[in-house]
Amino acid sequence: MSKLSDQILNELLEMGDSERAKHSQGFFKTGSGEYGAGDIFIGIRVPQLRALVKRYKQASKKDALDLLHSKYHEVRLTALFFLVNIYQHADSSSKHQIYKDYLNNIPYINNWDLVDSSALQIVGHYLFDKDRSPLVTLAKSEDLWERRVAIISTYYFIRQYEFQDTVNLAEIMLHDKEDLIQKAVGWMLREVGNKSRSTEESFLKKHYQTMPRTMLRYAIEKFPEERRQAYLKGEF
């Protein structure tokens, strides 16, 4: 590790709260056989992490990647906050390298908050004006986090009123067994609906009878109650 990344790590360790860490261990499902099995928490709130990132504006991509390899969850989250900030101020060549580094380090981006705090800002942004087939590859991966990166990255496209990639990936992951993917797909479909209800409903009417209930519930969460109940009861 560099001198600066080591300094940041030590500061983060000093900020820890054992009671908060214990709560986080349960909230993020770190028990044996759970999606976050083995993850270790220090016990630091997200606003504290973001405040630290603002103070260390001189942190480099190397510092961020050093921190991303930490065994501590909040250190990895801090690393991703750094990486997003660095990406946003980088030139096109550096953005390309950060995108590649991000994909190469998905094994360390291994919980839903880590993905959700960075995938759309880096992967989604980078691929917006490029070939998006890498998302299909990620969506078909056996790795849970690669699949979540794929669908969450399309949030960037949704914000630009482009929905087809979300719909395509939702169909690929329609019968995914993982709860975290079902929730993510449902969430992204809901976001599509916030921009274009007709696009979301076109997808739902085709698939609502076979898609996982968790996915469906997330997708229709903001629907008027009568219409939401119609989908849940299969009355279309």
Q: Which residues contact 230 (CB under 8 A, 6 or more apart)?
A: 236
Largest CA distance in the chain: 62
- pLDDT tens for each residue of 49-106: 999 999 999 999 999 999 999 999 999 999 999 999 999 999 999 999 999 999 999 9
Distances (CA, A) of 204 to 153, 154, 167, 177: 21, 18, 10, 18
In sign, the C-alpha dihedral spanning 102, 108, 110, 113 is: negative
Place of tokens 């995108």: 99
Place of tokens 């590649």: 100
Domain residue ranges in the chain: 1-98, 118-236
Nearest 5°: the CA angle 178, 183, 184 is 100
* Ordered DSSP codes for 24-52: HHHHTT-STTSTTTT-B-----HHHHHHH
* CB 73, CB 39: distance < 8 Å: yes
- Provide the CATH topology of domain 118-236: 1.25.40
- pLDDT tens for each residue of 7-60: 999 999 999 999 999 999 999 999 999 999 999 999 999 999 999 999 999 999
Question: Considering only CA atoms, which of 96, 123, 97 is closest in space to residue 109?
Answer: 123
- pLDDT tens for each residue of 173-191: 999 999 999 999 999 999 9
- Provide the CATH topology of domain 1-98: Leucine-rich Repeat Variant (1.25.10)
